[in-house]
Amino acid sequence: MAHDKEGDRPISKDDFLYPRSTYHGDFTPQNLAFNANLQEFAQRIGILCNLETGGKISSSAAYDEIKQMWKKLKASKSELLDAPPPSKPDLPEG
């Protein structure tokens, strides 16, 4: 069984299959959300490629699914990164 970096705790199946990396870019909620979407996109691409390579899905089915996922990722970028940042609320001084 695989263990975490310190070697003291077993890694869960979900952590093994869907590893998460910490975010090191400029922190904004929008950047963090897009990074999560990008990591999910990359993981799903890997799964689709493996399914296609293993003969479980056709090349055209893999392509169609990747194309739909790409459209969603582009929409996510437009909504999160290309939109102007939200205005800061007016807070009472005090």
Q: What pTM was estimated for this model as a whole?
A: 0.70
| Domain spans of the chain, in order of start | 30-81
Q: What is the pLDDT of residues 28-75, one digit of tens each?
A: 999 999 999 999 999 999 999 999 999 999 999 999 999 999 999 999
Q: How confident is the model at residue 8 (pLDDT cuts 50, 70, 90)?
A: confident
Q: Which of 46, 55, 38, 37 is nearest to 17 (CA)?
A: 46
